[in-house]
Amino acid sequence: MPLGGAEELWRERVTMIRYGLLGFGHHCEKRLVGAFPGAKGSVLAGIWRRDLAKAQQNARQYSIQHVFGTADELCASPLIDAVFVTSPDARHLPDVLLALAHGKAVLCEKPLGMNAGEVKQMLAGAESGGQRLGVAQNLRYNRSLELMRDWIAEGRIGRPLLGNAQFCFPAEASPRQWIYDPALACGGPIGDVGIHCIDALRFVLDTRVTQVNALARADERSRPLEACAAIGLDFHGGAMGTVSVSTRGVYRSVIEVTGENGTISSEYGLTVDRPVEVVLWRAGKAEKKRKVSNRDGYTRMLDSFSDWVGGRGEYRATARDGLHNQQVLDAAYASWRTGSRQTLEESD
C-alpha cells in the first residue's frame, strides 16, 4: 500500500477528538487555529465567543463546522469531546468548571487561574467527575526544549547548576489589551510569559521549584500590574535559576542551562516562528550545534492531549502539575509585594 494510503488508514483508526474553543481572540487566530489541520487525532469542531456575528465570521474563515450561541451550549453539545478554554485568565475558573460539569475533557490556556486556590477548585471538579484536565503549556512540545532536556539527562553538561530564561515583547503592539487589566489578567509579564519561562526551566531540568524571590516594577502604563520583573528560583535537587520578563523590550526569548562540565543554550529557544539553534558549549567552544523547528509544537500538544483523553498516552502538562506552576506565580507576586523570599511547601 502506498505511504499516503497507509497514513489515511491509520487516521481512520484513530478516534478524532473534537474540540470546541471557548473564547476566540488573537491567540486563537495566530496560533491555535493553524495547529489543527496538521493534527492526527484532533479536529476543531466548534466555537463560541461573546460576539455571535464575529464567531460566525471566524467559522466561515477557518471552516469551523459548528457555532454555538452560548458557552453552555458548546459545553453541553454531543458534537464536542474536549473544550479548549482560551478566554482571559479571570474567566478560566468558571469556564473550566462549566465544561467539567458537562462531562467534557478540558485543555485550558496558561496560567490556569488567577491563583492556586482557583486551580484547586478546578482539580476537585475534574477529579470528582473523572475528567481529563490539562494546561496548554505548548513549550513542552517544542523540539528545542526536548533536545535540551535529553542532553541534560544524558549528562552532557554534568550536574546542572544554573538555569536562565528570558522572554520580552512590546505589549503596546499586542492586540491582547486585556493583559494589563487586573480584573482579567493574573498579572503582567510574570503571569503572561513568566509562566512559560518557569515551566520551560522545570521541564528541561525535570524538577520542581522550592523557593522564589522576585523583583518587579510597574510603570504608568502598566500600573498596578508589573511591566518588568526578575525572579530567582531554587530548584529541588540543588540547581538555581533566573527568569527575566518584560513587556517593554523588543521581542526576545532565550533559555540556557549551565552545568559542571558545560552549557546548553538556545537563543529564541522558546519561539515557534523561526528555526532555532541549540548549542552545547564546552571550554568556551561550541562543541555541538543542532538546528530545530518548533513550528509543530502546538499541533503536537493537541495530539498529545487527545491521546491522553483517548487513553493512548500521557500528557506532559497536567493540571496537577500546573498547580505547582500556579503556586510559583503566587509566590513570585507575594515576594514582590512583601520583599521577602517565599518557600513552597513540600506538599504543594
Distance, in Å, from the CA atom of 83 to the CA atom of 75, rounded to the nearest integer, reads 7
Q: What is the pLDDT of residue 104?
A: 98
Q: What is the pLDDT of residue 1?
A: 32
Query: Is-contact 243 233, C-beta < 8 A?
Result: yes
Q: What is the pLDDT of residue 176?
A: 76
Query: Is-contact 283 157, C-beta < 8 A?
Result: no
Distance, in Å, from the CA atom of 172 to the CA atom of 301, rounded to the nearest integer, reads 29
Residues 148-158 have pLDDT tens digits of 999 999 999 99
**DSSP 8-state secondary structure symbol assigned to residue 251:** P
**Measuring CA to CA, which residue among 134, 148, 95 is closest to residue 301?**
134
Q: What is the pLDDT of residue 215?
A: 98
Q: What is the pLDDT of residue 7?
A: 44
Strand order in the sheet with 133-135: 66-67, 42-48, 17-22, 82-85, 105-108, 133-135
Q: Dig out the grid coordinates for 276 from the structure.
A: 532555532
Domain ranges for the chain, please list them: 3-137, 139-293+316-343
Q: What is the pLDDT of residue 25?
A: 83
CATH 3.30.360.10 fits 139-293+316-343, yes or no: yes
Query: Is-contact 243 226, C-beta < 8 A?
Result: no
Q: What is the pLDDT of residue 12?
A: 45
Residues pairing with 229 in the sheet: 216, 245
Cα–Cα–Cα angle for 163, 225, 141, rounded to 5 degrees? 40
Q: What is the pLDDT of residue 252?
A: 95
Distance, in Å, from the CA atom of 166 to the CA atom of 259, rounded to the nearest integer, reads 18
**Beta-strand (E) ranges in 111-261?**
133-135, 160-168, 209-217, 228-235, 240-246, 252-259
Q: What is the pLDDT of residue 347?
A: 52
Q: What is the pLDDT of residue 89?
A: 95
Length of the chain: 348
Query: Is-contact 94 72, C-beta < 8 A?
Result: no
Q: What is the pLDDT of residue 15?
A: 81
In this prediction, the residues of the chain whose per-residue pLDDT falls under 50 are 1-13, 348
CATH 3.40.50.720 fits 3-137, yes or no: yes
Residues 77-105 have pLDDT tens digits of 999 999 999 999 999 999 999 999 999 99
* SS3 state at 93: helix
